Structure formats: C-alpha cells, structure tokens
Chains A and B, each alone.
Chain A
Amino acid sequence: MLEISDLQRRFDGRPVLRSVSMRLEPGEYVAITGESGVGKSTLLNLIAGLDRPDGGRLALDGADYGDLDEDSLTRLRRDKLGFVFQAFHILPHLTLRQNVVLPLWLKGRKGPQADREADRLLDAVGLADRADSWPRELSGGEMQRVAIARALVHAPRLILADEPTGNLDPSNAAKVLTLLAERIRASGAMGILVTHSPEAARSADRVLHLTPEGLSA
C-alpha cells in the first residue's frame, strides 16, 4: 500500500507540488496525467525516493520515507520498486537477458535460477527467442518491452513508469501500454503510469489529474 499525504516540493522557493495526497491499494494501477511542467516527474521522483519532499508524508507498505536514510531508500528501490523510463535505459554492453536480470544481480542473486526468471519475463513480453541478442539490434518498441520485463523481474511492490511511450510511434505505444498493464496486473503489484496522453491513461484502472492545486480524479 502506498500512502501519500500533503506532499510538498519547492524548487528555489517556487512551489511545484503544493499539497499532493493519494492512496494506492495493493494490485491497483493508476495513471497520472497533467500539463507539461506541472510536476508529474517530480512526484514520481519523490515516490521513488530519488528526491526528498519539503513537507508531507510518504509511506510504502507502512515504511515512512522520512525515517529512511539514503542507503535505506536505495535498498527500498532495489527491493520494492520497478522502473520503466521514457528513454528505455537499456545497457548496450549487456545482452537482453543480462539487462533483464540486472535487478536480481543488484540483490546479489546470480546464476541459472536468476536467468530462468529473466527468461520467463522475456517470454512474457514476447522476446524469449532474443534473450542472447544485443540491444543494438532492437527497435524502440522492443527495447521498452525489455524494460518492462526488467521492471518486473524482481517481483517489486510498485512499478513506476514515466512517459514509457514517449519515444514510440502510436501503434507500438499501444502494444507496450497493453503489455505493461497486463504484466502489472499479472504480478499483483501496484503501478503508477505518468503520461500526458489521455489514450495512454485509459490503459490504467483509474486516472488522476495533477494540477497546481493537487491530485484529483
């Protein structure tokens, strides 16, 4: 369960998030939309623990971010969060399987069993036969599918996706969004999809709008 209450963030004295509150139940998948510059990525960074709020409270499964130091936040990301980025961030010098298994490596798990889990997820995103290929050979849509597999491989509690289709053409974007929603639901994790496209937002269970005033349905 993710709880956010009265979250605030200012940059150089300029308030970007004034008061954001929301609650995410286990298994829930929401989309957050809003105008460019309204603070969607800022909010996601706070949820990811990559940035600290100026006020308010954040808690994942009962763990209050305010009580966690940087190392604990890093561990929290490693164990409980999965990420899908607009720019994919697939490492070019690793094979697809190695890219997907990376979060398991970070947790210190290496070996055939970790590889099997990666292969299972590659299979789920339809790239089972490409496990030993290099990222260079992939299209943008395929890269994002690899990223989705990577975001889920370590069975995270919460998946964060910031404009995952921003670099994709519409038909590829649709496929990736369907796949993302399907995989998140299959895993039973919570999901937050940030996007400014209404169609994209519809792939989630519920849609929230971020405005300078806060989040609203």
Chain B
Amino acid sequence: MTLAPVFLGSLARRRTATLFSFVAILLGVALGMAVQAVNQAALSEFGRGMRTMAGAADLQVVGPRGGFDEGLYATLAARSEVAQASPVLEMRTERIGSADGLRILGIDLFAAGPVTPALLPRPAEIQDGSDRDTRLAALAEDSLFLSMAAREALQVDPGDRIQVHAEDRTLTLRVAGDLPGAPDDPRLAVMDIAAVQKHFSRIGRLTRIDLRLAGGQDAQTARAALEPLLPAGLMLEVPEAAVDQAANLSRAYRVNLTMLAAIALVTGGFLVFSAQALSVVRRHTELAFLRAIGLARRQLFLWLLAEGALVGLLGGLAGVALGHGIALGLLTLLGGDLGAGFFSGLSPTLRFSPWASAAYVLLGIGAGVAGAWLPAREAAAVAPARALKSGDDSALSGGRGVPMLSLAMLTASLPACFIPPIQGLPLGGYLAIACLLAGAVMLLPTLASMLARTLPLRGPVPARLAAARLAAAPGQSVIAATGVLASVALVAAMAIMVGSFRDSVDVWLGQILPADLYLRAGRAQSAGSLDEALQARLGKIPGVARVQFTAFESLRLEPGRAPVELLARPVSPDGDGLPLVGSARPAAKGETQIWISEAMRDLYGWRPGERVLIPLAGDEVAVQVAGVWRDYARQGGAIMMDLADYRRLTGDASVQTAAIWLAPGADGIRVGEALKSTSDSGALEVAFPGEIRERSLTIFDRTFVVTYVLEAAAVVIGLAGVAASFAALTAARRREFGMLRHLGLTRRQIGAMLALEGTLAAGVGVLGGLAAGGAISLILIEVVNRQSFHWSMDLHLPWASLLWFAGLLVALAGLAAILAGRQAMREDALLAVREDW
C-alpha cells in the first residue's frame, strides 16, 4: 500500500471525472440493489403467507377452482398413509361495492387443528347482549374470522357485519374473531366449511385437502400410493410448490428488471473506462517516469486497476445504501410487485440482506475494475523511454477500432437468439444483447472516423478545429461516446419494446372486449356467478340486442405448474373474433375443439391440429387444438372453448360474466342499471369496455414505471459520461487552449469548439445507440418476451419520441462539454502555456 498516495491521490486530482465515474457506478448499483431488495421482500412475504396456509401439511390435494367432490376426503382420510386429512373449500370473493378482495377458507375446525393450526380461529368476546357461547360461535353459519391485517384493511371490528358477493346474491357475515396464527395476510378469512358450502352453493364440494402423513411415511412414496385414487384434474402437491409457482410466474419479470439495472451498471463501467482511459492518456509521461525509476509493469497495472476498484468500491457502498432507500420508497409507493400485479395484497417489509448487499458492492468493484482494465493494460504496455521523450499528450491513442472483431460480435448475437430458454429464463436473449452492445461499442471508432471523413473542413475556425480533432483522434471522441451509445441503446430498445407492447395490448383489448357492456357478479375469478334463471332474465331486458356468456374455470394439467385458465364462451368454429396468432386448423365436425394461448403452446408444447386430454368435471376429455390466440392476461396459460361444448362436458350451466350488445339507439347507462336490478342487492356489477381498457392500460403503465426510472438513470449516466470525458479531455488540453488564446481565439470561440466536439461525439454515440437499440428491441420482443412471458407483439416504432430524445441528448451533450470545458477555459492563457501539468 506504500504507493497509495501516488495513484489514489491522482484520483483526487481528477475530481470531476472521478466523481462522474462514482455517480455512474452508484446509480447502477443502487438500481440493481433496489430491484433486488424489493423482490426479495415481496417473495419472502409471499412465501411466509403460503407457509402459514399450509401449516404442517405434508401434501395437498389441489384441483380446478370449481372444486371437486368431497367424497375423496373420506377415501383419503381412511388410508393408512394419512394421519390426518383436513378438507378446505376456498372461495375468492369481494366485499360488495368495493374492490377489497377476500379469500374465505372454509375449514373443518376439528380436522384442521392438527394439520393447519395457523388457520384456527379465536372467537372474540362480543358484548352484543346475546349470550351465545363464544366457543360455538365458530360454528355459526354467519361467523367470519379475519386475520388482523384483513380486519385493518376492511376496517371492521368483532361484532361488525360485512357484505360479500356469493353467486349473484349478497351474503351478510358477522366478524366473530381473528386468526392468531396468521395475522399478516390482508385477504385471509376463515369460516366453517359447511357454512361456506351452503352460502356459495357448493354443497358437497371441496377445493383442497391438506394431508398430514402418518409417521415414517415420506412424501414421495405416499404420493405414489395416493395418486391413483384421484380423479382426473386433481394433483398431489408438496405445499412449497405453490410458493415456487408464484415465484416462477414473477421470476421472468424480476429477472428482466434486474437485467435493466445491470445495463445501467454496465453503462457505469463504460464511464469508468472512459475516465480511466483518458486519465491514462493524460498521465502518459507520469506513468512512464514511474516505470523509469523502477515501478514494475505488473505493479503499475495493478495500481491502475486499484484506482478503478476504489471508485467501484465507493460507488458500490454508496449504491447499496441508496438502493435500500429507493427500495423503501418503491415498496411504499408501488408495493412489492413494482406495479406488476404479481404480489398484490401483500405488504412486504424491507429487510437488509448482508449477502445480497455484499454481492452488489462486489458488482460495483467489478464494474470499476472492468472499466479500468483496458486502459491499465495499455498503460503498462507503453515503453517508458519513448513516452518520457514525447513529454506531453501528443501520444494520444488514435483508437482505430477493431472492425473484424466487432462484426464477429454482432454476428454472434444472431445464433444466440436461437438458444432455447434455460429454466424459463431467456439467457440466450441476454447473451445476444450483450454481444450486440459490445460489438456496437467496438465498431464505434470505425463509425466515427468514417463519419469524420465526410465532414467538410470549412466554416468558422472553431468548427474546423472540432471536425479536425474528430478526424485525427476519433479514439477520444469515441471514449466519450461509448456511455452515450450504451444508454441510448437501452432507452431506444425499451421505448420500442414498451411502445410495441402497449400498442399490441391496446389492440388486443379491443379484440377481446368487443361488446358494449360487461356484467359480472364480482370478479371473474371469484365466487360470484350467474345462474341459469338470471341468464334468461338478462336477455329479455329492453335495449339488449344480444348476450354472450363466459364461464371461467382453472385446470391443473401438470404437477408443479401453475393452474391453467379455462374460458368457455361462444366461439365460432373457425375462431373468428379471437386474436389469433398464425392460422387456425379447425377440427372435423363432431370433434371438440379448443383454442390455446401462446403460453400453452410454449409451456406444454401443444400445437394446432394436435389431440390432447384436458380434465373436465373429473374426467379426461379428448379435445383438438384448433389454433393459438394471443393472451396478455394469463401468463400461466389459457384455454378457450365453446360454451356449448363446456356445458355439454361439465353439465355446469352457471357462468361468471356476460357480454352485452345493445340494440340500436339503446342507452348504455340505462340498460346497465336495468341489468344490475335483475338481481336483488347490488351484487351485480356493470363495466364498460372503455373503463376496462383504461384501467388495464393504467396498470400496464404502472408496471413500466420502474423501467422508466431505470432508463432515466441510464441517460443520466450517459450524459455524465460525456461530461466526465470532456472534463478530462479539456483538463489535458489546457495548454492547447492557452496556445489558441495566444493565437487570438476568444473564450467564446473555444467554447463553441468544445460544444461542437461534444455534439459530434454524442451524435456518433446516439447514431450507434439508435441502431443498436433497434436491434436490441427486436431481441427483447422476439426472444426475451417470448421466452419469459410467452407472448408475442407487433412491432411499433415510436419515431417521434425517439427523434426528440436523440436530439435532446445531443444538445445536452454539447452543453455538458461546454460546462466541463469552462473550468479549463477560466485558466489564464499565459499560465496555461507555461504550465507543465
């Protein structure tokens, strides 16, 4: 450490450039850390909730949302492998007149005790005059037990009554106490199972059975023994699987965010690179002198790396601190899903993870070292005798670039796109993006000198000087431009991807919401449903021209995978009206056909024309895949089938939603009112497609807020790069400026020259960045999104905003160059010429 003052002291001398590098790494690390901390908080909260639910259960029988026959419970409970079985009927519903969701678990109080003790209710002492035995209160038909978080969310106290959707009716329940074992879930409620079956017309139905195995039984053997007893569509799952499924669904989203943060960090690395490269150029003779008086090549290299590492370390430490701050802000503002809706309803708390924090500090150091690597290597390779003689910055590296290698990198990104997803992650896509970015950066010098050669050498002196400099030493301008290229590429890629996505979602919403009005009894996935009598009444309302019903169900196709949504509604035999991807292959007459979403095709490998088995009402049913449709709503996969087929196969006539077309001249609002009044108590809700669309797009935009933050950070980093490079360059060129002032150039002219140089350099970076960004956006759309979320989208280029952005960035870069040059220009001209440093 003896030489620390020699090298690290030099960092202090280059305060501006060092500060910019520091800020760049800080931002990159902070964003990555924030995304990581938020995800961690949300996931651990989610996992905790799931574990409370499952309690001591070793296995769970799960099935379609519609449930299965409770006869299975008796069968399983009698088996020798099973010590205790606990039946559960889970109903998702909402409080009437609000969006407060509630998960009501109907449990058998006596059976649940040994299996899921956390779910056991604690009756409150209620002084309402009645002298009901509180111990029996739990068994009362209208008794509802809420977790503390749910009581807070709903703002109710024991003894209060709340109204929830049940079918198309209103159900009034009495808050009878809480759940001491599960205080945190704001949606959790428990009732007696018989009451739930009765209120929600699910007599004889269950949705889940929790099993505790007899001593000495291991889960795998028991599973193998019990599996044959299950009707089609039911699975035995290890409770952890549910946590994994949820984590898997959101994982791709989380990884994508982390990748964005990583790009910000990479941009930070570029900044360190440009700062170090310029400082090495500037310290050419200084370093040669050190070599001459006996500093070994290797030592010089290591010390120069240490400079980068120190900046990285400081940036990393500050970044981790800032990242936790940002995470706290994001959690409070957007919740644990960063706006994406994966974890809605949880209120995660931020926890400091020393390992993750250490990893991010290391990443910061890594970025610093990586940025310093090439310049350090170059400096260590310099022959000291020659460098000592040259005596000033005339030894600036031209940096002609490596066209062949960069072309090879660019080409390598193509095959990388065809690498299939690895564990559901689009690693090939990321590799392709990295290749593209690296190739583009390496191609930059060639691009710059090509561009410079086309610049005319005329006009005012400052312009000529600026153009000459770009032509003579494109290497330096390129160093300033690398950060710009990386950040522009990121922003352009994201802008194009998000633009295309939003556009496609908008079109898609129009396609799947063709009716004038939508009617539902609570949310589509909740306990609300419309029975046959009600369905008949709806069609007779004046002003209604046509009614189309949709039934929703969820199916378990493979253990360990999230349930698949089944939508049953009238579908024309050729799939007309569906947002189809590719062409349809309608099945022959007499065959039942289904239409699968893109996720089904990717996850289960189903293809149009193929015959597959799906579990419906306890039986395996053979159906034929007729085509693939686009679905942005259900990442786990969705199947669409004709409602008539569904009714024929399941015998279930109830539906969840109704799409209504108005007769010509009918007033939507009035018809909506009439529709609502077909059922007693305001349990029906009417929505207009416009509202749904607006709400969906709002959620969409909220999901991408975080990406905008990341993009903004990248732009700031890119601009900081220009400023840092020019600060370093102008400091090294003080003598040149002094000489020019002696020759009679005004300060203003030198300022103009610097501005022009900055503009030219940034212009080159912006051009390269737009090209690279366009290509990266294609990778994001065609590879990353397809592999992560299994949905496709149509390309949509937001030309206007991209051009605005590019222009603004070039102008800002010019400004940054002037500001950076100010300090150098303030220097007295005479002094500047004499000065040796």
Chain A residues near B (Cβ < 8 Å): 41, 45, 48, 50-51, 70-71, 74-79, 81, 83, 85, 87-89, 91-94, 98, 102-103, 105-110, 136
Residue among A76, A92, A103, A108 having the largest count of chain B Cβ atoms under 10 Å = A92
Inter-chain CA distance A216–B397, complex, in Å, is 40
- Contacts known (A41-B389, A92-B13, A94-B9); A102 close to B293, Cβ less than 8 A: yes
Residue among B13, B292, B383, B837 having the largest count of chain A Cβ atoms under 10 Å = B292
Query: Which residues of the other chain, B, contact A108 by a CB distance below 8 angstroms?
Result: 2
B51-85 interface (Cβ within 8 A of A) = none
Q: Give per-residue flags for B1-22: 1 if the beta carbon is below 8 A from chain A beta carbons, else 0.
A: 0110110011011000000000
- Complex contact B296–A71 (CB within 8 A): yes
Inter-chain CA distance A5–B10, complex, in Å, is 42
Query: Which residues of the other chain, A, contact B836 by a CB distance below 8 angstroms?
Result: 87-88
Known A-B contacts: A78-B294, A78-B295, A81-B293. Give 15 more (CB < 8 A): A45-B385, A50-B383, A74-B295, A76-B294, A77-B293, A87-B285, A89-B286, A89-B388, A91-B10, A93-B10, A93-B12, A93-B13, A102-B293, A106-B293, A106-B294
> Can you report 10 residue pairs joining A to B where beta carbons are below 8 Å apart?
A48-B385, A71-B297, A74-B294, A77-B292, A78-B294, A89-B285, A89-B289, A106-B2, A106-B3, A108-B2
- Complex contact A78–B10 (CB within 8 A): no
- Contacts known (A88-B836, A106-B3, A108-B2); A79 close to B294, Cβ less than 8 A: yes
- Complex contact A75–B294 (CB within 8 A): yes
Inter-chain CA distance A74–B297, complex, in Å, is 8
Q: Is B542 an interface residue (CB 8 A)?
A: no
Query: Which residues of the other chain, A, contact B6 by a CB distance below 8 angstroms?
Result: 91, 94, 102, 105
Query: Which residues of the other chain, B, contact A89 by a CB distance below 8 angstroms?
Result: 285-286, 289, 388
Q: Is B325 an interface residue (CB 8 A)?
A: no
Inter-chain CA distance A76–B388, complex, in Å, is 19
Query: Which residues of the other chain, A, contact B296 by a CB distance below 8 angstroms?
Result: 71, 74-75
Query: Which residues of the other chain, B, contact A93 by a CB distance below 8 angstroms?
Result: 5, 9-10, 12-13
Query: Which residues of the other chain, B, contact A85 by a CB distance below 8 angstroms?
Result: 289, 388
Query: Which residues of the other chain, B, contact A50 by a CB distance below 8 angstroms?
Result: 291-292, 383-385
Inter-chain CA distance A107–B296, complex, in Å, is 11
Q: Is B510 an interface residue (CB 8 A)?
A: no
Inter-chain CA distance A204–B775, complex, in Å, is 70
Query: Which residues of the other chain, B, contact A78 by a CB distance below 8 angstroms?
Result: 293-295
A-B pairs with the 8 shortest C-beta distances? A78-B294, A89-B289, A77-B294, A50-B385, A93-B13, A93-B9, A105-B2, A45-B385
* Beta-carbon nearest neighbor of B7 in chain A: A93
Q: Is B424 an interface residue (CB 8 A)?
A: no
Minimal beta-carbon separation of B621 from chain A (angstroms): 78
* Beta-carbon nearest neighbor of A87 in chain B: B391
Query: Which residues of the other chain, B, contact A81 by a CB distance below 8 angstroms?
Result: 293-294
Inter-chain CA distance A146–B294, complex, in Å, is 18
Inter-chain CA distance A63–B602, complex, in Å, is 73
Q: Give per-residue flags for B260-299: 1 if the beta carbon is below 8 A from chain A beta carbons, else 0.
A: 0000000000000000000000000110010111111100
- Complex contact B294–A94 (CB within 8 A): no
Q: Give per-residue flags for B112-154: 1 if the beta carbon is below 8 A from chain A beta carbons, else 0.
A: 0000000000000000000000000000000000000000000
Minimal beta-carbon separation of B392 from chain A (angstroms): 9
Inter-chain CA distance A79–B293, complex, in Å, is 9
Inter-chain CA distance A102–B750, complex, in Å, is 38
Query: Which residues of the other chain, A, contact B9 by a CB distance below 8 angstroms?
Result: 93-94
Q: Could you say which of A41, A106, A136 contacts B295, with CB atoms under 8 Å apart?
A: A106
Inter-chain CA distance A85–B291, complex, in Å, is 14
Q: Give per-residue flags for B628-650: 1 if the beta carbon is below 8 A from chain A beta carbons, else 0.
A: 00000000000000000000000
Minimal beta-carbon separation of A144 from chain B (angstroms): 12
Query: Which residues of the other chain, B, contact A45 by a CB distance below 8 angstroms?
Result: 385
* Beta-carbon nearest neighbor of B8 in chain A: A93
Inter-chain CA distance A98–B9, complex, in Å, is 11
Inter-chain CA distance A81–B289, complex, in Å, is 13
* Beta-carbon nearest neighbor of B300 in chain A: A74
Query: Which residues of the other chain, A, contact B12 by a CB distance below 8 angstroms?
Result: 93
- Complex contact B5–A98 (CB within 8 A): yes
Inter-chain CA distance A76–B295, complex, in Å, is 11
* Beta-carbon nearest neighbor of A140 in chain B: B836
- Complex contact A103–B2 (CB within 8 A): no
Q: Could you say which of A41, A70, A76 contacts B297, with CB atoms under 8 Å apart?
A: A70
Minimal beta-carbon separation of A141 from chain B (angstroms): 14
* Beta-carbon nearest neighbor of A136 in chain B: B837
Inter-chain CA distance A50–B5, complex, in Å, is 25
* Beta-carbon nearest neighbor of A99 in chain B: B6
B797-837 interface (Cβ within 8 A of A) = 836-837
Query: Which residues of the other chain, B, contact A109 by a CB distance below 8 angstroms?
Result: 2
* Beta-carbon nearest neighbor of B389 in chain A: A41
Query: Which residues of the other chain, B, contact A88 by a CB distance below 8 angstroms?
Result: 836
* Beta-carbon nearest neighbor of B10 in chain A: A93
- Complex contact A48–B292 (CB within 8 A): yes
- Complex contact A91–B286 (CB within 8 A): yes
Query: Which residues of the other chain, B, contact A102 by a CB distance below 8 angstroms?
Result: 6, 293
- Complex contact B297–A105 (CB within 8 A): no
Minimal beta-carbon separation of B279 from chain A (angstroms): 12
Q: Give per-residue flags for B694-737: 1 if the beta carbon is below 8 A from chain A beta carbons, else 0.
A: 00000000000000000000000000000000000000000000
Query: Which residues of the other chain, A, contact B13 by a CB distance below 8 angstroms?
Result: 92-93
* Beta-carbon nearest neighbor of B283 in chain A: A91
Query: Which residues of the other chain, A, contact B295 by a CB distance below 8 angstroms?
Result: 74, 78, 106
Inter-chain CA distance A106–B289, complex, in Å, is 13
- Complex contact B289–A110 (CB within 8 A): no
Minimal beta-carbon separation of B746 from chain A (angstroms): 27
Inter-chain CA distance A135–B389, complex, in Å, is 21
B133-186 interface (Cβ within 8 A of A) = none
Inter-chain CA distance A103–B10, complex, in Å, is 17
Minimal beta-carbon separation of B438 from chain A (angstroms): 32
Inter-chain CA distance A107–B295, complex, in Å, is 9
Inter-chain CA distance A75–B298, complex, in Å, is 12
Q: Give per-residue flags for B447-467: 1 if the beta carbon is below 8 A from chain A beta carbons, else 0.
A: 000000000000000000000
Inter-chain CA distance A136–B831, complex, in Å, is 11
Query: Which residues of the other chain, A, contact B837 by a CB distance below 8 angstroms?
Result: 92, 136
Query: Which residues of the other chain, A, contact B5 by a CB distance below 8 angstroms?
Result: 93-94, 98
Inter-chain CA distance A85–B294, complex, in Å, is 15
- Complex contact A103–B294 (CB within 8 A): yes
Inter-chain CA distance A107–B384, complex, in Å, is 19
- Complex contact A83–B286 (CB within 8 A): no
Residue among B291, B294, B297, B385 having the largest count of chain A Cβ atoms under 10 Å = B294
